Amino acid sequence: MSLLESFSRAYVINLPQRADRRRETRAMFDRVGLTDWERRVEFFPGIRPETTEGFPSLGVRGCFLSHLGVLKRAAEVCTDSVLIMEDDLEIDPDFVRRGDALAAILAREDWGFAYFGHILTGLPEDPGVPLQPYRGAVQTAHFVAIRREVVLRLVDHLEAILGRPTGHPDGGPMHVDGAYSIFRDKNPDVSTLVAVPNLGTQRNSSSDISTRWFDKVPGLHSMAQGARRVRRRLRR
């Protein structure tokens, strides 16, 4: 059984104009051995807004709205859970190799979020259990699964954030991973699992929410992209 079968739907958030990201993602799926991805994974058209509306940048708002769009679709079509991926995701081959163990935990445990990719502190230290409970904040939301009953509540939470001003005490416009962490903090009944070790990093490619200076300077942007392609080939 493929681990992808543990989820009702799987989506990759991808701006329609980023054909390079789609190519990289498809190649990555094949490289790590996700043999059934073509019939189980859908590319979701990412949103690129015209105004920030209180968010730190256009890209941050676009990422937030794109996640919200995926969640709304999942609320309509998913019977159990949704796996959300961003198009700069680099999956560790252990996601496939340890698929049976991961699927067994997902089937056995009462979970609301499962972060297969993450940046966090206080990581559990038992390497023998590939998904472990975690209550702290999680940075990044590039590789996360969410159960349908949580999706319905999370949509309301994100829409409430959109309706508040920046700096509101209950949470105004922010990065989507922060919004997820606030939701988890305010809803202690929703349990979270995290992959140990981390099974998904963010690929070294130019980002539409990047704050790296070399992605903003004309001329250096293309040089940086070339260097990233070389690094990816060397890693293979």
- Average pLDDT of the residues in 189-193: 97
Span 3-203: which CATH code? 3.90.550.10
**Over the chain, what is the mean pLDDT?**
87
Q: Where in the chain is the domain with CATH 3.90.550.10?
A: 3-203
Residue 81: closest CA among 12, 150, 141, 16: 150
Does residue 197 have a cis bond before it (omega within 30 degrees)? Answer: yes
pLDDT band for 224, please (50, 70, 90 cuts). very low
pLDDT band for 125, please (50, 70, 90 cuts). low
pLDDT digits (tens, 9 = 90+) for 58-108: 999 999 999 999 999 999 999 999 999 999 999 999 999 999 999 999 999
Cα 148 from chain centroid?
Answer: 16
On whether the CB atoms of residues 184 and 192 are closer than 8 A, the answer is: yes
pTM of the full predicted structure?
0.87
Q: Please state, in angstroms and rounded to a whole number, the distance separating the CA atoms of residues 179 and 177.
A: 5
